[in-house]
Amino acid sequence: MARTALVTGGTRGLGLAISTALGAAGFRVAAVYHHDTQAAQALAAEHGIAVFQWDVGDADACARGVAAVQAQLGPLDVLVNNAGITQDAMFHKMRADQWQAVLQTNLGSMFNMTRPVIEGMRERRYGRIVNISSVNGRKGQAGQTNYAAAKAGILGFTKALALENAARNITVNAIAPGYCDTAMAAGVRPDVLQAIVAGIPVGRLGTPTDVARMVVFLADDAAGFITGATFDVNGGQYLA
């Protein structure tokens, strides 16, 4: 019987590649999106993936949304916490709302999405949770104190949750992607991005597929001995 996976931010960028790769690997997939209805409709039409709309920064919306997904697709076996935003600014110019928004969406969502899913996984004694961090949560990045703090927070969350759930056959891992060819990186000023790419040893941006491959690997039944780990997919930009 096919396993069921939910991917947040699952209709664009890295999440689009993750949703379609999991679908191609035989998972029943629910992709959660926030704003871009057109992208969601295209994913549903082209790949037959179920799409759901809510804000992962809103705990009540997540509880309601997870219940709706499970009512439609069955119990969740795999959760990919991928949704994230940037609001870059040097810290001495950063507004409180930029700090709050990035922390709420990128780190608050770890609680909001995982809390309604974890009890069922514990009862069924099976789960695969993959949290998408960032190279910038590993190494820091000027202009991203909010994002780097949230993405580093994901790594602590991942390790603690892994320890709590290892005996229940639930693995919890993080992936730290480098700069990838997505709208998020395209939002960086061209001269700044060019300098960053010059510092990537493989000499290019990553592709969403580079990251999706790692998610599929970790989501597999056979990956049960891998937990609490962080996987760098960054073209050699940062070696931990």
Q: Which of 4, 82, 109, 134 binds ligand CAA (CB under 6 A)?
A: 134
Instruction: Tell me whether strands 78-81 and 127-132 are parallel, antiparallel or unpaired.
Output: parallel
Binding mask 61-100 for ligand CAA (x = CB under 6 A): -------------------------x-xxx----------
Active-site position among 33, 126, 147, 179: 147
Binding mask 194-223 for ligand CAA (x = CB under 6 A): --x---------------------------
Interface with ligand CAA, residue 157, by CB under 6 A: no
33 annotated active-site: no
Q: What is the DSSP-derived secondary structure letter of residue 107?
A: I
Say if CB 113 and CB 156 are below 8 A apart: no
Q: Which of 2, 45, 192, 202 binds ligand CAA (CB under 6 A)?
A: 192
Helix axes 208-219, 13-24, angle to 10 degrees: 50
Q: Which of 109, 112, 144, 145 binds ligand CAA (CB under 6 A)?
A: 144
Residue position matching structure tokens 């000499």 = 203
| 140 Rama sector, left if φ>0, alpha if ψ -120 to 50, beta otherwise | left
Burial class (CB in 10 A: 0-12, 13-18, 19+), 42: middle
Q: Which residues are catalytic?
A: 147
Binding stretches for ligand CAA (CB under 6 A): 86, 88-90, 134-136, 141-144, 147, 179, 184-185, 188-189, 192, 196
